[in-house]
Structure 1
Amino acid sequence: MSLTVKVMIGMIAGLILGVIFNMIDSDFINTHIVGGFFGMIGKMFVNALKMLVVPLVFFSLINGVTGIGDIRILGRVGGKSFVLYLTTTAIAIAVAILLATLVGPGQGFNMEGVDTSGVTGKEAPSVWDVFAGIVPTNPVAAFANGDMLQVIFYTVILGVAVLMLGGRSKAFVEGCEYMNELMMKVVSIVMAFAPYGVFCLIAKTFTEQGIELFGPVLAYVLTLVAALFLHLFVTLMLMLKLFTGLNPFIFMQKMRPAQIFAFSTASSNATIPVTLRSVTERVGVDNSVASFCVPFGATINMDGTAIMQGVATVFLANVYGIDLGLGGYITVIAMAVLASIGTAGVPGVGLVMLTMVLSQVGLPIEGIALILGVDRLMDMIRTAVNITGDAVVSTIVAKGENKIDLAVFNDPNAGLITDEDLDIDEAAEAELAQYAKPH
């Protein structure tokens, strides 16, 4: 049984058990089993994924920059990915606003009885602050805090310096290549525990959220899910087919493990190790491209989050009876694209970004209380859309640079994690044992 099948079984089992526990509503189950044991295992699994992100991105990106070997090509890869990410985000929110306008969720909604306490807004940063924040004042602090844009910027600068030093950097490059291979092996170890981590995360989410929360905002939920699926299965797949000629069905099959991880963790950053492995070992994108595009996309590419903002804005405008007009919707699109650049890919960040958008178009921030209950489940779906967008752009850029292995892409078994990934190399073990003997 492949890891993907195991993870899907864990996800389905967690969903079923979570719904059952939600209906039982036992204090013992909620406190000790769900909040205690499930919460502990789920948090440990997500922490383990986050543990891998910074070192994996650093060593992989160093290898990517040195592997490209030409600073001009590196600039071309960065420029293409940046333009594509912003384009997909703008398309995503524009389609979401159009669909929501046609459906009209929120019309006739009654705000009475809705608790709006505890909903606070956040001021939108200026475009200058967003770009100025890319450069770290302290690289060590950027690595410690997991600020991915700053980590990427510093690592790219370091990689360029390595190229400029030429042959003197050979030992450093070889060390980074080994560390990158080592980190990918650690990814295999962590992912071996994925079915249990996903089971606990999903069971905890559905026990706490239940399904009765969807009733009052069903029109919003259905519109949002429809917009997310439209972007995932139509917009992104059309872009993939148009720019690469690759089979979208094979691509989606290859990305399924990363999508499941994104759904269960609701964090683009935590899913970086899995996305990076899927894009390189399953899809066949060269590490020199994937190591830049994937973490870059996890930070600035928020297609799913942008879609949520578009649908939520139309929903709340209908609830309050406010006509935003064309100018208001253009402002929403611009704000969503800007906010996606400077916002981290962590759970719940969509609501923070939404407060910025609502403030700019004059909608009451308190309206967010309407969608708070269902946002966690919606966050899971839109994160899966986010990382799929990262993978599509990475593949498009790689195809344009002739940095994709089509044999790997067309091989259904390429990159599958098996028990062999966890086996110990006996020859290497014997060699290491020689060093352990007293001399």
Structure 2
Amino acid sequence: MSLTKKIIIALILGLIVGLGFNLLIPSGFETVDAYLLTPVGSLFLKSIMMLVVPLVIFSIILGTAGISDPKKLGRIGGKTISFYLITTAIALVIGISLAYLIQPGTGGGFETSTADFEASSAPPIVETLLNIIPTNPIDAMAKGTMLQIIAFSVLIGFALARLGDKTKGLLRLVEQGNEVMMYLVNIVMLIAPYGAFALIASAIGKLGLNALQAMVLYMLAVLGALLIHAVVTYGSAIAFLAKRNPIEFFKGFAPAMIVAFSTSSSSATLPVSMRTAQENLKVSKSVSSFVQPLGATINMDGTAIMQAVATVFIAQVYMIDLSFGDLLTVILTATLASIGTAGVPGVGLIMLTMVLTSVGLPVEGVALVLAVDRILDMTRTAVNITGDAACAVVISAAEEKQNSTT
């Protein structure tokens, strides 16, 4: 049986077990969760997270060294960031449109007097951009500060490319390190079905049906927007820009999407998404090694959709009308915030509080969407990494065309 089928079966069994405990034996769930589900899920997550930093370092160095030409590096970087910003803006428009169509917050019955949420402050965008250059690369690696790790790795890769034969031994060592990391990814994926089962069962067991029923329209709006964005936006990019079959793209990338759904972390899924893009989608290693780690840090289309729907939802619950200018502010703020808050823990909620503040909505409204945020977080993470892979496929196809004409 293929790994994809095993993980899908594990997800279904996890849903059944989680709901079964929540509905039938809620008293026994805490014990099973504490001694079985949470430890198994944590083991899987830690096993993958263990590989993220060294894999990003090796792959970015190799990707940059493989591109070598500064003009080519600048061209790929410009195309990548442009793709991410444009698709994020499209995601926000889709989210806002569907939220106004479904009207998830107008049904009433939401208790706002007890809503309480303490907003974390995000650093200014200028500060984040300045902090991209690490003062201590080793400290950045120890803390897992991805933008700093990427910046340092790009500089090392550029230096290796320019020095050529002088550093070919070091480049070979990096290549071997990357091979070791990819081999370890394959080993970790052997426990992926068990990790996915434990993570889903734990999340659903804690959430239960009551929270889902109260927020069903909000969830439908978010899930519908995520589906439309994945199929229409990414599908169109694959079909018209990369000249490839979108169905084959989604089918080939499915294993990584399933892992992202279970882990709720773009960074944790990065080793799997890179391997899947290179092996199943035939993306060149140099492009994949540069585009996907960058996307896992700054590209958050799924999170942007959640912000758009949540903003309209909270405005409807509090009966506050948003003007057209307010909606444009939401789109602009959330698009810039997708880069400006990169690497901040709890980034989705911090970005949402920034967006709410920008249009004068109460940040306490975030408490209304917290109950179902876990299940939506899983889904939007799958969309986030799919956007990274779609960008990698588009850039790889463009570079192949560029090379064939020169």
Task: Tell me which interval the TM-score lies in, with the shorter structure as reference length.
Answer: over 0.9
In the alignment, which residue of structure 2 is the partner of 1:388?
386
Question: What does residue range 210-221 of structure 1 map to in structure 2 within 5 Å?
Answer: 210-221=208-219
Is structure 2 residue 92 aligned with structure 1 residue 103? no
| 1:82 matched residue in structure 2 | 81
**Aligned residues of 1:18 and 1:202 also touching (Cα < 8 A):** yes
Q: How far, CA to CA, are the matches of 2:139 and 2:5 in structure 1?
A: 39
Aligned pair 1:48/2:73, yes or no?
Answer: no
The 1:63–1:218 alpha-carbon spacing in structure 2 relative to 1, beyond 3 Å, is same
CA deviation string 1:125-148 (max 9, x = no partner): 433123112111211111111111
Contact 1:63 1:176 in 2 (8 A): yes
Report deviation, 1:35: 2.4
Q: Which residue of 1 aligns with 2:187?
A: 189
- Given the superposition, is the C-alpha separation of residues 235 and 339 from structure 1 closer, same or farther in structure 2, using an over 3 Å criterion? same
Q: Aligned to 1:215, what secondary structure does the other structure show?
A: helix
State the SS of the aligned residue for 1:195: helix
Residue of structure 2 equivalent to 1:363 = 361
CA contact 1:53–1:269 (8 Å) conserved in 2: yes
- More displaced 10-residue stretch of structure 1: 257-266 or 95-104: 95-104
- Secondary structure, aligned partner of 1:322: coil
CA drift of 1:356 comes to 1.2
User: How far has the Cα of 1:215 moved from its partner?
Assistant: 1.9
Cα separation, partners in 2 of 1:160 and 1:130, compared to 1, 3 Å: same
Alignment of 1:38-187 (within 5 A): 38-112=37-111, 115-117=114-116, 119-187=117-185
CA change 1:138–1:259 in 2 (3 A) is: same
SS of 2:35 mapped into structure 1: helix
Structure 1 unaligned residues grouped into runs of 5+ = 405-439
| Preserved contact between residue 92 and residue 305 of structure 2 (Cα < 8 Å) | yes
Summarize the Cα distance change of 1:233–1:114 in structure 2 as closer, same or farther, 3 Å threshold.
farther
Structure 1 residue 111: Cα displacement? 3.7
**Contact 2:128 2:341 (C-alpha < 8 Å) held by counterparts:** no
Tell me the CA shift for residue 113 of structure 1: 6.9
Larger displacement relative to structure 2 (134-143 or 301-310): 134-143
Correspondence 1:231 to 2:232:
no
The letter for the 1-side match of 2:70 is I
Deviation per CA, 1:236-260: give whole Å up to 9, x if none.
1011111011000000001100000
Contact 2:124–2:340 (CA<8 Å) still a contact in 1?
no
2:263 maps to which of 245, 262, 265: 265
Structure 1 Cα separation of the partners of residues 357 and 66 of structure 2 = 45
Distance 1:350 1:360 in 2: 16
Alpha-carbon deviation of 1:159? 1.0
SS at match of 2:240: helix
Task: Give the equivalent residue in structure 1 for 2:14.
Answer: 14
- Aligned-pair identity in percent equals 48
CA distance in 1, matches of 2:340, 2:188: 29
Aligned-pair CA distance for 1:26: 3.6
Contact 2:260–2:382 (8 Å) recurs in 1 = yes
> Given that residues 86 and 337 in structure 1 are in contact (C-alpha distance below 8 angstroms), is that contact kept between their aligned partners in structure 2?
yes
Question: Alpha carbons of 1:204 and 1:345: their partners in 2 closer, same or farther (altered >3 Å)?
Answer: farther
Where does residue 283 of structure 1 map in the other structure?
Answer: 281
CA distance in 1, matches of 2:322, 2:121: 20
Please state how far the C-alpha of 1:344 moved relative to its aligned partner.
4.3
Question: TM-score of the superposition, structure 1-length normalised?
Answer: 0.88
SS in 2 for 1:137: coil
Distance 1:374 1:35 in 2: 21
Shift of 1:358: 0.8
Q: Distance in 2 between matches of 1:168 and 1:152?
A: 23
Alpha-carbon distance, 1:353 to partner: 1.3
Please give the secondary structure, in 2, of the residue aligned with 1:112: coil
More displaced stretch, 69-78 vs 294-303: 69-78
SS at match of 1:105: coil
User: Displacement of 1:108 after TM fit?
Assistant: 4.2
Query: Cα 1:12–1:344, aligned 2, differ >3 Å: closer, same or farther?
Result: farther
Paired residue for 2:206? 208
Partner of 1:319: 317
Task: Give the match's secondary structure for 2:400.
Answer: coil
Instruction: Tell me if the contact between 1:114 and 1:370 (Cα under 8 Å) persists in the aligned partners.
Output: no
CA–CA distance in structure 2, aligned partners of residues 315 and 192 of structure 1:
41
Distance 2:383 2:166 in 1: 43
Residue 30 of structure 1 corresponds to: 29
- The amino acid of 1:282's aligned partner reads N
Deviation string, structure 1 residues 188-233 (Cα, Å, up to 9, x no partner): 0000111111111111111111122122222111111111100011
Give deviations 1:137-194, integer Å, cap 9, x for gaps. 2111111111111111110011111122221111001111111111100000000111
Task: Kindly indicate whether residue 8 of structure 2 is the aligned counterpart of residue 5 of structure 1.
Answer: no
Residues 300 and 340, structure 1, Cα contact 8 Å, conserved in 2: yes
Deviation at 1:39, TM superposition (A): 0.2
Gaps of 5+ in 2: none
May I ask how many residue pairs the two structures share in their alignment? 402
Is the Cα–Cα contact under 8 Å of residues 299 and 343 in structure 1 kept in the other structure?
no
State the distance in 2 between where 1:126 and 1:144 align. Answer: 23
List per-residue Cα deviations over 1:58-94 (Å, max 9, x = no partner). Answer: 1111111222221211111111101100110011001
2:214 counterpart SS class: coil
Evaluate the alpha carbon distance shift between residue 75 and residue 15 of structure 1 in structure 2; reply closer, same or farther with a 3 A threshold: same
Partners of 2:346 and 2:366 in 1: CA distance: 12
Question: Retained in 1: the 8 A contact 2:145–2:343?
Answer: no
